[in-house]
Amino acid sequence: DIQMTQSPSSLSASVGDRVIITCRASQNINNYLNWYQQKPGKAPKLLIYAASSLQSGVPSRFSGSGSGTDFTLTISSLQPEDFATYYCQESYSTPSLTFGGGTKVEIK
């Protein structure tokens, strides 16, 4: 199985900060990488697919990059509604479709 490792597991940031979350795959997954946001008590929400494509309706302060094994999710200017947990997910190795362990973004 492909392993997906996110870092950091948690971070504290202030409104307006630039936040970068990384995700590393244990093998080459090309750009078959998705990012989700999950708020407490809610289902995950798709932010980015195919490593860098912004899902419709998602604010442009969210962006994704990377290919191969190393990927990043960037929030250019953190907003109050962005405090949540973020997950990466590979869609290369059907049927496993492994998620990363998550990164919790908290208020500093």
Please state the three-class secondary structure of 19-31 as a single string. EEEEEEECCCCCC
Kindly tell me which of 36 and 62 has the beta carbon lying closer to other proteins: 36
Q: What is the C-alpha separation between 101 and 7, in angstroms, rounded?
A: 9
**Smallest distance from other proteins to CB 99, Å:** 4
Kindly tell me which of 13 and 46 has the beta carbon lying closer to other proteins: 46
Radius of gyration of the chain (CA): 13
Which residues bind to other proteins, rule: CB under 8 A?
1, 32, 34, 36, 38, 42-46, 49-50, 55, 87, 89, 91, 94-102
Is the bond leading into 59 cis (omega within 30 degrees of zero)? no
Strands 70-75 and 62-67: antiparallel
Kindly tell me which of 14 and 81 has the beta carbon lying closer to other proteins: 81
